[in-house]
Amino acid sequence: MKPDDNNNYFLTYVNYPIISNKQKHIDFFNKNSVTDAWGINITVGYLKQKFDLGPKKIENQRHEIIESVLTQIVNDTPLLKIDGLGNIKEEVEKNKPIKKLRVETDKKGMDIIAEGEILGLLAYQNEGNRLYNLACHSLFVFLRVSNNRKRLKRCPYCKIFFIAKDMKRKICYSNECFTEYKRLEKQKQRKNDPVKYI
């Protein structure tokens, strides 16, 4: 499991609650090949058929925990004072990455030993537990990089969390939000300088 492959799964998890957005989660796995993190091979077809999430109430509670933590991070709450971060840390502690060696073949046909990691006992849990644990783990991987905290933002228009490439950025990268931002900027200019727009 490469950290870069899944270090933003927590964004998919919190922006698209699983109950009504299973396809978004399936698409994430399709693009990022993170199922190695579970130590098992899961196909997209398998996810569609076997998305055993457990009771809706539990899924909603898990979603609320991560959303609350991200909201506090965006609001510059010190990490030690963030409510809910302890719950996430417990999940990470339960499923610490363990070493996994596998044999691969290089371009010349030579066998090489590749070292990877899998997330503890995730292979034995249902999809709901796996997705929550992977979201918790990916958030911790993200927070380990010192400046990442400042790059986490929440768009004022669509309300989704996103990772900004530029720390000064305030809106997400969707065309709809950019259009709305431009429209409101022009409205503000007209209000501040009406003579210019007559």
CATH of residue 73's domain is 1.10.3300
Does residue 35 sit within a domain?
Answer: yes
Does residue 192 sit within a domain?
Answer: no
Does residue 80 sit within a domain?
Answer: yes
Does residue 61 sit within a domain?
Answer: yes
Check residue 132 and give its pLDDT: 87
Contact 114, 99 (CB under 8 A): no
The residue ranges of the chain whose pLDDT is under 70 are: 1-6, 33-54, 101-102, 112-125, 194-198
Check residue 3 and give its pLDDT: 39
Check residue 155 and give its pLDDT: 95
Query: What is d(CA 181, CA 103) in angstroms, rounded to the nearest whole number?
Result: 51
Check residue 2 and give its pLDDT: 39
Contact 117, 97 (CB under 8 A): yes
Does residue 195 sit within a domain?
Answer: no
Q: What is the mean pLDDT of the chain?
A: 80
Count of domains observed in the chain: 1
Query: What is d(CA 21, CA 12) in angstroms, rounded to the nearest whole number?
Result: 10
Q: Which domain holds residue 77?
A: 3-166
Does residue 66 sit within a domain?
Answer: yes
Check residue 121 and give its pLDDT: 62
Give start and end residues of each alpha helix (H) in the chain: 3-6, 9-15, 22-32, 44-49, 56-74, 85-94, 127-143, 148-151, 175-192
Does residue 181 sit within a domain?
Answer: no
Check residue 134 and give its pLDDT: 85
State the pTM of this model.
0.78
Does residue 72 sit within a domain?
Answer: yes
Check residue 1 and give its pLDDT: 35
